[in-house]
Amino acid sequence: MLAKRERREVYNQCIQRLQECANARALGDGKRAHELIQQSGWIHDRLLGNLLIRMYGICGCLTDAIAAFDAIRERNVYSWNLIVAANAQNGQLHHAAALFDRMPQRDLFAWNAMIGIFCQASHLEEAKSRFRSMDLEGVRADARSFVAAVEASAITADSSRLETIHALAVECGLDSHTIVGTSIVDALCKRGSLAHAWIAFAKISSRPRIPWSAMVGGLARNGYSRESVALFREMLAYGAAPDAVTFVSVLAACSHGGMLRDGVGYFVAMPLDFGVSPTVDHYRCVVDLLGRAGLLGEAEEFLEEAMPVLGREDSVAWTSLLGSCWSHGEVERGKRLGELAVGFNWEEQSSSPFVLLSHLSCSD
Highest mean pLDDT, choosing among 92-101, 303-312, 352-361: 92-101
Where do the structural domains in the chain lie, given as residue ranges? Answer: 1-104, 106-206
pLDDT tens, position by position, 152-181? 666 555 566 667 676 767 766 777 888 888
Rounded CA-CA distance 207/212 in Å is: 7
H helical segments located in 275-314: 280-292, 296-310
CATH number corresponding to 106-206: 1.25.40
CB 52 within 8 A of CB 37: yes
- Look at residue 84 in the predicted model and tell me its pLDDT: 93
pLDDT tens, position by position, 297-339? 999 999 989 988 887 778 788 888 888 888 888 888 877 877 7
pLDDT tens, position by position, 5-38? 888 899 999 999 999 999 999 999 999 999 999 9
Dihedral (Cα; 271, 276, 279, 284), 10-degree rounding: -70
Q: Does residue 360 register a pLDDT over 80? A: no
**Termini Cα distance of the chain:** 97
The letter for the amino acid at 82 is L
Rounded percentage of the chain residues whose pLDDT exceeds 90: 53
Rounded CA-CA distance 348/185 in Å is: 35
Cβ-based neighbours of 244, under 8 Å, separated by 6 or more: 276, 277, 279, 281, 282
Please, what sign has the CA dihedral across residues 93, 98, 101, 102? negative
- For residues 182 and 335, the model is more confident at 182
Q: Does residue 361 register a pLDDT over 70? A: no
Q: What is the mean pLDDT of residues 208-217?
A: 94
Rounded CA-CA distance 112/125 in Å is: 15
- Look at residue 193 in the predicted model and tell me its pLDDT: 87
Rounded CA-CA distance 155/222 in Å is: 17
236 burial via Cβ count (<10 Å: 0-12, 13-18, 19+): middle
- Look at residue 82 in the predicted model and tell me its pLDDT: 94
